Structure 1
Amino acid sequence: MELTNGAEASVRMENGLVVKERIPKRYRLPELDERIRKERNRAESRIMSEARRLGVPTPIIHDVENSMIRMQYIPGTALKHVINEELSERLGELVGLLHTGGIIHGDLTTSNLIYYNDRLYMIDFGLAFMSPAVEARGVDVHVLFQTFESTHRDHESLAKAFCRGYRRSFSGADEILERVTEIEKRGRYA
Structure 2
Amino acid sequence: MYLARGAEAVIKLEGNIVVKERIPKNYRLQQIDERIRKERTRSEARLISEARRAGVPTPVIYDIQDFRIEMQYIDGRPLKYVMDEKMSKKIGQLVGRLHSSGIIHGDLTTSNMIFSNDRIYLIDFGLAYTDSSLEAQGVDVHVLFQTFESTHSGYEELIASFYQGYRDSFESADAVMERVKEIEKRGRYA
What TM-score results when the alignment is normalised by the length of structure 1? 0.99
Q: Deviations over 1:34-90 (max 9, x none)?
A: 110000000000000000000000000000000000000001000000010000000
| Equivalence map 1:34-113=2 (5 Å) | 34-113=34-113
Alignment of 1:153-164 (within 5 A): 153-164=153-164
Cα drift, residue 16 of structure 1: 1.3
| Equivalent position SS for 2:137 | helix
C-alpha RMSD of matched pairs (Å)? 0.4
Give structure 1 regions of 4+ aligned residues with deviation exceeding 2 angstroms: none
Q: What residue is the counterpart of 2:31 in the other structure?
A: 31
Within 2, Cα distance between the matches of 1:103 and 1:167? 17
- Find the counterpart in structure 1 of residue 123 from structure 2: 123
Q: Distance in 2 between matches of 1:53 and 1:77?
A: 23
1:133 is matched with which residue? Answer: 133
CA distance in 2, matches of 1:9, 1:134: 30
Q: Deviations over 1:78-111 (max 9, x none)?
A: 0000010000000000000000000000000000
Q: Take 2:33 and 2:181, find their aligned partners in 1: how far apart are those partners?
A: 38
How far off its partner does 1:15 sit?
2.4
The separation in 1 between residues aligned to 2:39 and 2:142, in whole angstroms, is 27
Matched, 1:174 2:177: no
- SS state at 1:93 partner: helix
Aligned counterparts of 1:168 and 1:143: Cα–Cα separation in 2: 20
How far apart, CA to CA, are the structure 1 residues paired with 2:54 and 2:68? 24
- Quote the sequence identity (%): 63
How many aligned positions are there? 190
Query: Could you say which residue in structure 1 is the equivalent of 2:146?
Result: 146
Write the letter of the residue equivalent to 1:7. Answer: A
Structure 2 gap ranges (5+):
none
For structure 1, the 5+ residue unaligned runs are none
Aligned counterparts of 1:145 and 1:15: Cα–Cα separation in 2: 35
| Residue identity opposite 2:119 in structure 1 | R
Residue type at the aligned position of 2:153: R
Deviation per residue, 1:145-172 (Å, 9 max, x gap) = 0000000011110010000000000000
Alpha-carbon distance in 1 for matches of 2:78, 2:158: 16
